[in-house]
Structure 1
């Protein structure tokens, strides 16, 4: 048996986030402890506390990181010379693609519910949704009520939720995703 790592410098935030994410998805927020994550990392739990003050902060860091990745992906999808309808299509497709290619992250971002972390994860979710809503509004052919944009978001989320666990990745649902996105855009711009 190898000796345990004892210093926090041997661990990076990214390594901790990666192991913790896996554990939160497999076992749920309540069942995971800082000690169990430390055991998986073969380090002292104090080394994790060097990076995160508690489990809720660690969970929030995971959620915040995942929303940042999604936001960047959506931002990239509106760059380029395409017309606004094509850009809107790209935003919706990339959302579904992210959800199906990163199912464990998606589950943590949108499906894990726990009173201890809901307010923290809601902050990241609300910021991401605001960016999503502004993007949809700016790319649409007409002005929308917030409920229309929320309905489009829920339709995308519903698609990912339906296929999550039944497909391994986006490619397995690509044709259905394309049809679904076209349907949503027709509803928004029709």
Structure 2
């Protein structure tokens, strides 16, 4: 009986995260309240506080899932069967693809600033960047300076931010993304 209750709670938490993500993507962090999330989930706003102490914690749980998704994609790319040079190219393109195919989530992860969630989001962003930097260093033919990896990251980030809102997905910028990644790699080799 207790395992059923536990599964029910997890499904409820998953449903809250799913509905809240949709609202945050559609309206933005500032425009969403715990009451509007509760209405979407069809529960009382008090029931949300059973799972999350406030809107910032709920938002962070969503952002944390997004960072986990990005980190997993990058790890899968590193584990691929290609050589290191091809993996490095694939990591950079994977990062751009994630950003352009998940523009609002990317904005929450790396662009949007809000005093309520900054501390939490910055920690997750730093850990994600650290994984990115370790993978780039491991796949590089030469020892890279931290500033070189950071510059490559910023170049990828800038590409995504530049295209964000002007295109719908990665496919629309694929050729340009490949040229951009080639350019970045020339600076690292």
Alpha carbons 1:63, 1:121 under 8 Å: kept: yes
Partner of 1:4: none
Q: Shift of residue 10 of structure 1?
A: 9.2
Partner of 1:116: 116
Whole-angstrom distance in 2 between the partners of 1:138 and 1:101: 27
TM-score (norm 2): 0.90
Partner of 1:87: 87
Q: Shift of residue 39 of structure 1?
A: 1.4
Aligned residues: CA RMSD:
1.6
Whole-angstrom distance in 2 between the partners of 1:11 and 1:50: 13
Whole-angstrom distance in 2 between the partners of 1:45 and 1:111: 28
Q: Which segment drifts farther, 44-53 or 172-181?
A: 44-53
SS of the equivalent of 1:12 reads helix
- Residues 36-87 of structure 1 show CA distances to partners (whole Å, capped at 9, x for unaligned) of 1111222111221121111111011011100000000000111133111100
Whole-angstrom distance in 1 between the partners of 2:179 and 2:89: 11
Partner of 1:64: 64
Gapped runs of 5+ residues in structure 2?
A: 1-7
Whole-angstrom distance in 1 between the partners of 2:40 and 2:111: 24
The total of aligned residue pairs comes to: 182
Partner of 1:51: 51
Whole-angstrom distance in 2 between the partners of 1:143 and 1:104: 34
- Residues 84-136 of structure 1 show CA distances to partners (whole Å, capped at 9, x for unaligned) of 11000010000011111111211111111011110000111010000000111
Where does 1:8-157 land on structure 2 (aligned, <5 Å)? 9=9, 12-157=12-157
Q: Which segment drifts farther, 138-147 or 19-28?
A: 19-28
TM-score (norm 1): 0.90
